[in-house]
Amino acid sequence: MYSKKVIERFENPKFVGEIKNPDAVGEVGNMKCGDVMKIYLKIEKGKIKNIKFKTYGCIAAISASDAMCELAKGKTLKQAEKITHEEIIEKMGGDVPQIKIHCSVLGTRALRKTIENYKNEKNK
């Protein structure tokens, strides 16, 4: 069902965990499937210096979270906000079952929510 690349990312995620004293945290969920993604950001000079995730979900959700983090790290906030679910799928190896595409969409929503939370905190 899943490609070797998706399973490898699931079994050995590079970005799983929390960041102590993060600059932003965001969490989104999909009530339909039960997946929940929590993203932690450390921002330095307008760029994502560090990013971590904690995801409750299936193989595709965890793999999508890790792929999204890899895409976002080092980008400016503006660049990170433009990451698409298609880019996440491509980073996952491009071979994701149609029924699991929503996991990559959840990844983009989680990242955007976290960036939105950061901006809201800075504007207080």
| Site of tokens 């929590």 | 38
Q: Using pLDDT thresholds of 50, 70 and 90, give the confidence band for residue 24.
A: very high
Decide if pLDDT at 118 tops 90.
yes
pTM of the model: 0.93
Q: Do 67 and 41 meet the contact criterion of CB atoms below 8 Å apart?
A: no
Residue ranges and CATH numbers for the domains of the chain are 4-122 (3.90.1010.10)
103 classed as catalytic: yes
Can you tell me the mean pLDDT for 48-69?
A: 95
Given 37, 103, 106, 111, which residue is catalytic?
103
The C-alpha atoms of residue 34 and residue 12 are separated, in whole angstroms, by 22
69 classed as catalytic: no
Given 16, 19, 33, 36, which residue is catalytic?
33
